[in-house]
Amino acid sequence: METVTPAHREALADILLPIADDAWIAGQRGSEWLGMAPDLEEDLALSSISQDALGHAQLLYDVLAELGNREADEQVYARPASGWRHCRLVQTPRQDWADFVARRYCYETFDDLRLHALAGAGHAPLQSALAKILQEKLYHVRHFDTWLQTLAWGGTQSRARLQEAMAGVFSELGDLFSWGQGASALAMWNLTALSSLRPLWESRVRARLEQLGLEWPRVAAKKSDGRLGEHGPEFSDLLAEMTSVRAMEPAGEW
Amino acid sequence: MDDVQRVNDFKARIGAGEKIESTDWMPKEYRDLLIKQIHMHGISEIMGAYPEKEWVGKAPTIRRKLALNAKVQDEIGHGQMLLRLAEDLSRPYGRGREALMDDVLEGRVKFHNVFHLEAPTWADAGVIGFMVDGGAIITQAMLLDSSYAPYARMLKRIVAEESFHMQHGESVVLALAEGSEAQRAMLQGAITRWWPAMMYFFGPRMMGPSSQKMMDYKIRTMTNEQLRQKFINRYVPRIQALGMAIPDPALYQDAATRTWHYTDPDWEWFTAVVHHNSGPMSQARLSLRREAHRGQQWVREAAIEAGRVLQERGA
Amino acid sequence: MTAKEGRKEGRKEGRKEGRKEGRKEGRKEGGSVMAIEETPVYEVFVQADALSFPTHVGSVRASSPEFALQMAREAFCRREAAHDVWVARADAITKARSDSATLPRQGTDKRYRLPGGYDNAPHWKRFKAMAMTIEEVAADMRTKPGR
Ligand SMILES: [Fe+2]
Ligand SMILES: [Fe+2]
């Protein structure tokens, strides 16, 4: 993009915010697994992945700050719940391991496709952030794919738990594919490919589930759209907790 | 019973500064002391993740959140490395990870007094790094000379990471000390809470028989009181420099002997907490560990089964 | 998986450790003792850069070689990158220390096979020439030809 107009900058911010917020909330929820993973080794792996996710969000918040948003910490700590653009999939609190594996497999696979499609956007700061993110994303996708296979091949009980968890996760997929207000912005940046990621995601996940002998559950229609800032009281609680310490001295040094 | 001559030869090797490896022959007494020490150390690292974990979700800046997440991760990592050593030593008893983890859930292995306590404010998360990790470094630095080589090697790695923990804790503490009245009050509250626990941390003034034996075998090389004195000597001037009070009116340094005099912590209370898991947070943290370990035994079993399927398919 | 299956599987090659630990161990649940199979142990070797040898750094429990590599990366390479990481099943490793006949030890005088066992410099001096050292030869190879 040779000349970046204010409208262009705003449009790019609309495109990036849901991606950044997904990563942040995934990292925040992922951190709930600290000390709670099925074994010590996995605890280490998961913590790294959560740190990476928070780090990816930070990189994107920095790009957003450069596009005119407030600095990264302010975006995280001083934004009302309605200003967040993450999807339902990453917001659900920690449940059991089968749920987490199914959930994160779906999210990481989608995010990987989305980030690769973003590589077409001619914005240098974004491209340099993406280069760092994609390298780590590769490992995240691999990690949850390995777990998907592990639970699928882990015996009757394990497979049943995974299948059930997958059905639960699919019922929360609705707004993962939504672009909310960012839909019109995609055209401005020649990124319309981003609005048609769903069939790509479906064919990739369907093939993998088939390969592992798992059923393809029904994807429920979205009940609310996180991309439009609709997150329900569960997120207000999360946000209140997340910002509780800083609220003591919002402008202070920590 | 081990052959007396063989035991004496072993002691002579240790006396001459030789290091022992996991597959070497060793007296049962030495093996059992090592298991006791390393098992307790490893489990304490793991239980030490919980008080700070509560604050990862609430950390007040992005950088603090990342650092605290990484710090808690390191503690789990220390637990992993140390349990692996304890597991290797426990092979002759047919006990592995599952059994050693069950031990803490069933009260057969204790963990450090500090991890039974509440960490009710963000300042506690900083003070834990500053004082508990600082105390742990003092203990672990002594163990770097341990006669058991795998332990000494692992501790080299652990101590390097602990120094990041201490820096991180100090940074949180300094930010609060430089902050508002409310932030300083929160810091003072945490220091007041943790000081007596740190006096207990290094153990009784007179060491028990097994600690004495660990000295004989050069598993450890200093007394409890020597370690505590090193801690006080380091921390008193720093805490005072921040303008914070130490909750011990009897604390003073003898000008001639350089020895610190301090008020005894409530030995009986802390000992009961450690032995009966009766501290304010003991049961809550044990139930988190139980949820992680027992609650997800099915995952470990599934993974073993899947590993077998994978091997059979030659994948 | 049931305890019975666990024992049955335990007979297979490569499950030695699981069987050994699993049999003696047991968690009492509802009065009966259940065998708990242990996740296998892999020793981990990290090669820091292309010109160093892989070095043993510790071990992890993992249910497959793939997981062992993922876990090794997390357990031992959280802070610095590596050139390569090797994992090997712990029960596939044989150590010399457990068999003293094979353990290399300092024996009779081996100075004849060490560079320090020679003292050629005074002799070269007598011929008005300089002794060579391997360091100096190596340094010479790094300079451009003809210099
Ligand atoms: Fe530690
Ligand atoms: Fe630490």
Query: Each residue of B7-18: pLDDT tens digit?
Result: 999 999 999 999
The list of chain B residues with pLDDT below 70 reads: 1-2, 315
Across chain A, mean pLDDT equals 95
SS3 B259: coil
Contacts of B135 (CB under 8 A, 6+ apart): B198, B201, B202, B231
**What are the C-alpha distances in Å from B99 to residues B91, C10, C69?**
11, 18, 25
Quote the pLDDT of residue B1. 53
Q: How far off is chain C from A85, nearest CA to CA, in Å?
A: 31
Residue C107: burial class (beta carbons within 10 Å; 0-12, 13-18, 19+): exposed
Give tens-digit pLDDT for B203-259.
Answer: 999 988 988 899 999 999 899 999 999 999 999 999 999 999 999 999 999 999 999
**Interface membership of B206 toward A (CB under 8 Å):** no
Give the amino acid at A87: C
- Cβ atoms B48, B112 nearer than 8 A: yes
Ligand in closest contact with the CA of B80: 1
Tokens 């849901």, located at residue: A18
Give tens-digit pLDDT for A191-204.
Answer: 989 999 999 999 99
Distance CA B100, CA B300 (A): 15
Nearest to B24 among C64, C67, C97 (CB): C97
pLDDT in tens for each of the 147 residues of chain C?
344 443 333 333 333 443 344 434 455 544 444 568 999 999 999 999 999 999 999 999 999 999 999 999 999 999 989 999 999 999 999 999 877 788 888 878 888 888 888 898 999 999 999 888 888 888 988 888 765
Whether A62 is covered by a domain: the verdict is yes
Whether A253 is covered by a domain: the verdict is no
Whether A128 is covered by a domain: the verdict is yes
Whether A29 is covered by a domain: the verdict is yes
Distance CA C143, CA C147 (A): 7
What domain count does chain A have? 1
Give tens-digit pLDDT for A18-52.
Answer: 999 999 999 999 999 999 999 999 999 999 999 99
The model carries a pTM of: 0.92
**Interface membership of B290 toward C (CB under 8 Å):** no
Residue A20: burial class (beta carbons within 10 Å; 0-12, 13-18, 19+): buried
Residues around the ion ligand 2 (C-beta < 5 A): B 133, 162, 165
Contacts of B94 in chain C (CB under 8 A): 20-21, 23-25
Contacts of A250 in chain B (CB under 8 A): none
Contacts of B185 (CB under 8 A, 6+ apart): none
Task: Report the Cα–Cα distance between both ends of chain B, in Å, rounded.
Answer: 48
Confidence bin at A223 (pLDDT 50/70/90): confident
Distance CA B11, CA B8 (A): 5
Q: Which CATH number fits the domain that encloses residue A56?
A: 1.20.1260.10
Whether A1 is covered by a domain: the verdict is no
Touching A (3+ Cβ pairs <8 A), the chains are B, C
Tokens 């010399």, located at residue: C96
DSSP C43: E
Distance CA B46, CA A35 (A): 7
Whether A254 is covered by a domain: the verdict is no
Q: Is the pLDDT of residue A127 over 50?
A: yes
Mean pLDDT value of segment A207-221: 94
- Cβ atoms B248, B200 nearer than 8 A: no
Distance CA A54, CA B92 (A): 44
DSSP B243: T
Quote the pLDDT of residue C108. 80
Which element (helix H / strand E) includes C136?
Answer: helix C134-142
Contacts of B25 in chain C (CB under 8 A): none
- Domain extent, residue A124, equals 6-248
Q: Do A41 and C75 touch (CB under 8 A)?
A: yes
Q: Do B307 and C20 touch (CB under 8 A)?
A: no
Maximum pairwise Cα distance, chain C: 90
Quote the pLDDT of residue B122. 98
| Domains, chain B, ordered by start | 11-16+23-312 (1.20.1260.10)
Nearest to C59 among B23, B84, B306 (CB): B84
